[in-house]
Structures are given as C-alpha cells and as structure tokens.
Amino acid sequence: MQELKNYEQILDLVKNESSVFNLSQSLKQYHPYDIAKAFLDFSKTERDKIYQALSHEDLADIFEYLDEVDAANFLKELDIEHGTSVLSEMEVDDAVDIINELEEDASSYLENLELEDQKEISYLSAYEEDTAGSIMTTNYLEVDADWDVKEAMKYLIAEANEAEIVDPLFVSRNNQMVGVLDLKKLIIARTPKKISEIMEENFSFVNTNDSIIDASMKISNYDIYALPVLENQKLVGIITMDDALDVIKDEVDDDLEKMASIGEIKEGRTTLFKTLAARIPWLILLLILGLLTANVIGAYEDVIKQVTTLALFQTLILDMAGNVGTQSLAVTIRGLSRKNLDSKSKTRKHLLKELRISIINSFLLGILAFIVSYIFLLVNGDETINIVMICLIIGLAIFISLILSGLFGTLVPIIFDKLKIDPAVASGPFITTLNDLISVTVYFSLAIILLGLYK
C-alpha cells in the first residue's frame, strides 16, 4: 500500500514541480526503487526534468533498479558524457548488464570510462550469459591469510568505503582462496594473531562457468549474503544476495510466462508482432489438441444420443483431471528447478510419491463422485436410465482419469528435462488440454463397455 502511495506521489511531483531545485530535494526523500517503479510512466520531457534534478550517483542508484533493457534505453536519452558518468557510479555487474544491451552504442560509452573501469567491464562481459561469472561483482575486500589482524583492520578502514560489502571478508594465500572471515571475529580479535587463526576454512563457492541458477539456489539454501566465485581456485568475484534474488525472480517470471503458454514476453516494451509471435505457436498446438478432443467427442455422438445424462458430467471429469495434472506439473517443475530431481533415485522416488498421491486422491474422489452423482440423479434424473451404472461410470472415469492426469503431469516435465527442453514448456494449458483428450476417451469408452452400447 505504501509503495502505491509513493508511486502516485512521485508521479504527481514530477508532473507538477517546475523548480529543478525543489524537485531534486523532494525526490531525495524517496527510495531509488520507488522512483524506478515510476520511471516507465514518465514522458520524455518529465524524465529530462529528473536528469537535470538528480546527480549522477542518484541516477545510477535508480538505474540499478530498472530492467537492463529499460535502463539502456533511458541511458541513450542522455548525452554520452552524462551517460558515462552515470555508468561509472554504478556497481560494475549492473553496468555490464546495461552496456550489453547498448549493442552498437556500447563502445561509445566504454571509451569515455576510466581505464580501470573499462578493463573491469570488459573482463566481466567476457563471461557467457547465465553463468556465475556474468553476474558477479569484483567489488569486495580480500585479505591475506598470513596478515596480522591489526594489518587487516587498517586495510578494512582504508578500503571499506569503496567496497560493495565488507562482511564477510575473503581470505587468500598465494592467489588461492582459503577461507572467509566474519567481520565480527576480526573486530574482537587482538594482535598478535593471524587471519588464518580466526578465519572459517569451510565455505561455499561456485566456479565462473557454473549456472546462475545453481549459484542463486546455493545462496538461498545456505543463507549466504555473498558467495565467492572462483576460477582455478582463485577468487575473481562474488555474487551478492540481492543479485541472486533478481535471478530467482526472473526465473519465476519466466516459468510463469511459459506455464501460461505466452513465451518470454517483456510486457510494456514488446511490439505487437513479437507478442503475437511468442503466443501463436502455443495457441496453434492447443487448437490442434482441442480439435482432437472435439473429434473424439464427435466419435461418441451416438453414445451421447442414447444416454444424454452422460453429457451432464463431462465437464466435471475434464475439470478434475485438469486440476490434478496441473498440481503434479507445478510440484514437478518446482522440484526440477530446485535441483531436487537431479538423480535417478530422486526422480523415481518423486514419481512413485506423485503416483501414490494420485491413486489415493482418485480413489477418494471417485467414491465421492459416485455418491454425489447418485443423489443428484436420484432427485433430478430420468427414471428410465440405470442410475447406479451411470454413477459407476462417472466414479470409474474420475478414478482412471485422475491417475493418468497425475502421471502425465509428473512425467511430461521430467521427460522434457531429460531431452534438454525447458520443463516449464510443459505448460498448464498444454497438460490440461492433453488430459481433456485422455479423460474424454476414458469416460465414453467406459460408457460403451458398461452400458453395452457397442452392440
């Protein structure tokens, strides 16, 4: 609620405040995140007012909260000198993300940066996208294992202002990382005492070519604020918790988009053509599956004509099967994304667990469906039909369909993962439509067999 209030206040302030000085003083009362949230809704003229009102450092803080594509577009609204000054105030890993989106304009900004910044940005840009090296920062404090604690404190005091984080400190010896040091331990230690005596030798780390998902999950699972990134045992950077949260958020957004069968869409800046291109392929596939389902229903037209009551419960069976399939799908994709199914034994255990759950749920819901449908037909049904047999068909159809739906909801993403296809592509609409096809076939096949309509 407060976030929305801040958003509205910032919009109103920028639109109505004519004094650059007053605007500058007023905007400084808000967190850069709140200003960044409103940035997309400003006109070019209004953004120009902000560029004039805020310092390079303030703009850098705001740009760090923007999506890198948006930040790159806004940076182009500034002249090269102004834009370069903003980049130089940003954390290096954030600056790299923005520069990578500048494409052909990137060299113009790089040339105007200080030589040290150029080297650092070029170094980080060399790592492949989606690797730990591509999101790490080199702005950390590293101490030697053989230093005395007094020497380490002097170094900390001298360099703390320039570092992104000061706790923990990272410990190396002969260009090899050997431990981490909690700031509290350093503060309470008394000379003479070496860093190696108070450091923690057991520490988590990733290598530069490890995936950003693995790095982010390690930070999340072990509650690490800053994760060391190594290359041949040498410390070359760190990944902070806020960067890991950004990665996890992007991954969740990506999976939600895929599970909705809309592809990877950046809402608000994607052209109509690109949006259609991302959605049409899935819609065509779902259309084909839907037509197959309609064709199956059409094949059982004579069955429906003979026992019209069957049509009343068709939606119930399809919806129940779709719900169970989607539940199994969501649990399985979550397990795959968290690396909880990274071995045959874990996968087998998960599959058997989901199968047991599906069987128990199917049995209970099948019985419940039999009872409820019996009461419904007893009150509202046609006396000429065999109510018990109809209810038995409904109960059995739910029992079988729910088992198959749970099985498909579990198996499909696992198979996709083994084939190196993103399991999130096994989306909700896809599984639901596939289960519709299966459930319709099961339902009317049972009707033919149990009612003897095949004669």
DSSP state of 103: G
Residue 401: pLDDT over 90: yes
Residue 186: pLDDT over 80: yes
443 in Cβ contact with 314 (< 8 Å)? yes
Query: Residue 362: is its pLDDT beyond 90?
Result: yes
pLDDT for residue 230 = 92
**What is the distance between the alpha carbons of residues 409 and 293, in angstroms, rounded to a whole number?**
18
| Paired residues of 308 in beta bridges | none
Report the range of poorest mean pLDDT among 63-72, 267-276, 443-452: 267-276
Domain 2-126, CATH 1.25.60.10 — does that match?
A: yes
Enumerate the H helices of 64-211 as residue ranges.
Answer: 68-75, 80-88, 92-102, 106-112, 115-125, 132-135, 149-159, 183-188, 195-198
pLDDT of residue 341: 81
* 3-state SS string for 316-343: HHHHHHHHHHHHHHHHHHHHHHCCCCCC
Q: What is the pLDDT of residues 1-15, one digit of tens each?
A: 677 777 788 888 888
Q: Is the pLDDT of residue 403 over 90?
A: yes
Dump strand ranges (E) for 132-240. Answer: 142-144, 169-173, 176-181, 206-207, 226-231, 234-240
Interatomic CA distance for residues 235 and 207, integer angstroms: 9
Inter-CA distances, 89 with 110, 114, 119, 138, 193, Å? 14, 11, 16, 14, 37
pLDDT in tens, 310-327: 888 888 888 888 888 888
- Residue with the bigger pLDDT between 164 and 188: it is 188
Angle (CA) 305 308 309, round 5°: 160
What three-state secondary structure class fits 236? strand
- Of 67, 9, 42, nearest in space to 1 by CA: 9
Higher pLDDT, 339 or 153: 153
Paired tokens of 30: 């808000």
Better-predicted residue by pLDDT, 159 or 103? 159
Nearest-10 crossing angle of helices 344-380, 387-418: 160
DSSP 393-417: HHHHHHHHHHHHHHHHHHHHHHHHH
Res 302 pLDDT > 50:
yes
What is the rounded end-to-end Cα distance, in angstroms, of the chain?
A: 66
Per the model's pLDDT, the better-predicted residue between 279 and 42 turns out to be 42
Residue 263: per-residue pLDDT: 52
Residue 453: per-residue pLDDT: 58
Average of per-residue pLDDT across 31-47 = 86
Say what percent of the chain tops pLDDT 90. 12
Contact between residue 399 and residue 362 where contact means Cβ atoms under 8 Å apart = yes
Q: Which residue has the tokens 């003979």?
A: 306
Report how far residue 181's alpha carbon sits from residue 187's, in angstroms, rounded to the nearest whole number.
11
Lowest mean pLDDT among 82-96, 277-291, 363-377: 277-291
Predicted confidence (pLDDT) per residue in 217-275, tens digit: 888 888 888 889 998 899 998 888 877 877 777 666 666 555 555 555 454 455 566 66
Q: Summarize the confidence of residues 193-202 as an average pLDDT.
A: 88
pLDDT tens digits, one per residue of 121-147: 777 777 887 788 888 888 888 889 999
Per-residue confidence (pLDDT) for residue 311, from 0 to 100: 83
What pLDDT does 261 receive? 52
Average pLDDT score over residue span 306-310 = 79
Domains of the chain: which residue ranges?
2-126, 142-247, 272-451
Q: Which of 243, 427, 266 is nearest to 332 (CA)?
A: 427
Tell me, what's the pLDDT at 268? 46
Cα–Cα nearest to 112, from 97, 125, 136, 95: 95
**Mean pLDDT estimate for the chain:** 82
Q: 142-247 falls under which CATH superfamily?
A: CBS-domain (3.10.580.10)
Band of pLDDT at residue 455, cut at 50, 70 and 90: very low
Tens of pLDDT along 68-104? 888 888 888 888 888 888 888 888 778 888 887 877 7
Angle between helices 272-299 and 428-451 (to 10 degrees): 10
164/142 Cα distance (integer angstroms): 12
Q: Which CATH architecture has domain 272-451?
A: Orthogonal Bundle (1.10)
